[in-house]
Amino acid sequence: MRQPQPSSRSCFVCGRDNTLGLQARWTADREAGEVRTELSVGEPWNGYPGVVHGGIVTALLDEAMARTALLHGGFEDLLVTGRISVTFRQPTPTGKPIAVVARLTRRSTSRAQAEAEVRLLDGTVTAQAEALMTRPPPEVAAAWAEERKHWRVDGE
């Protein structure tokens, strides 16, 4: 069963109040072990006309994989990406619905590995990624404390 995941105020990918961002809304399926969003990336985020910029595709994949660490936890389980590898299979079109899906492949107390895909709604994979994520340094995590009170699902 899919459950909505919380979002922050200002994140470029998920920020509810970031009018310049993508405002992706994520769901989690704990039984399937995956997180997912469906959205359409507008032409302002192109790399070439009609094609989503590769950096934007990478940001979506990165966000998805980071969110897998929340499948069985909460805000305290947020991790940062230490390494990411992206393979672009074909251009991701602007203005067309896409799905971004990620799965947790390994988890320890301080690290996690995940994989993700960007797919067209017909199932065609346009990009794939793998990431190694780790606990942030304490000073970085401490800076998130103020945002925690704003970390919520739309409508809460």
DSSP conformation letters of 8-52? -SS-TTT-TT-TTS-----EEETTTTEEEEEEE--GGGEEETTEE
User: Burial level of 151, CB count in 10 A (0-12/13-18/19+)?
Assistant: middle
Q: Is residue 137 part of a domain?
A: yes
pLDDT in tens, 30-74: 999 999 999 999 999 999 999 999 999 999 999 999 999 888 777
Say how many domains are in the chain: 1
Confidence of residue 17 (pLDDT cuts 50, 70, 90): very high
Q: Is residue 150 part of a domain?
A: no
Confidence of residue 147 (pLDDT cuts 50, 70, 90): confident
- CATH value at residue 92: 3.10.129.10
Confidence of residue 116 (pLDDT cuts 50, 70, 90): very high
Q: Is residue 87 part of a domain?
A: yes
The sign of the dihedral angle between the CA atoms of 110, 117, 37, 105 is: negative
Range of the structural domain that residue 8 is part of:
3-145
pLDDT in tens, 76-88: 778 999 999 999 9
Q: Is residue 18 part of a domain?
A: yes
pLDDT of residue 156: 64
Q: How far apart are the first and last CA of the chain?
A: 20
Confidence of residue 146 (pLDDT cuts 50, 70, 90): confident
Q: Is residue 156 part of a domain?
A: no
CA distance 18 to 36: 20
Phi-psi region at 5: left, alpha or beta (left = phi > 0; alpha = psi -120 to 50): beta
